[in-house]
Amino acid sequence: MSLKTLFTEHPASVDETYGEHLAMASGFGIRMILGGCACLLHGIFPFLFVKTGSAQIRSLHERMVENRRTKQMPAILDFVI
């Protein structure tokens, strides 16, 4: 497997360029880190960030899974739905 393929095969499989994939994955990672910090603080101070962790999970799932399904849906189904 070539070095170029190592960096482009997965992004292409989700219909992204390397740069687009880097931006998306980095954005998800930062949100997960911040959401995790909020959860840790919530564990210590239960009155802080009461809904932040679950809101981050919902938002990330929506962007990562649900929107990707829509993006890859065949064009004929876009008209029907």
pLDDT at 72: 54
pLDDT at 78: 47
pLDDT tens, N- to C-terminus, the chain (81 residues): 899 899 999 999 989 999 999 999 999 999 999 999 999 999 999 999 999 999 999 999 998 887 776 555 444 444 444
Residue 69 structural domain: 3-80
Reported pTM: 0.73
Q: Six-digit token pair at 19?
A: 């740069």
Q: What's the total number of domains in the chain? A: 1
Find the angle CA(6)-CA(2)-CA(4) to the nearest 5 degrees: 55
Q: Strand, coil or helix: what is 77?
A: helix
Q: Strand, coil or helix: what is 1?
A: coil
Alpha helical stretches, state H, 15-74: 18-44, 52-61, 67-72
The Cα–Cα gap between 18 and 12 comes to: 8
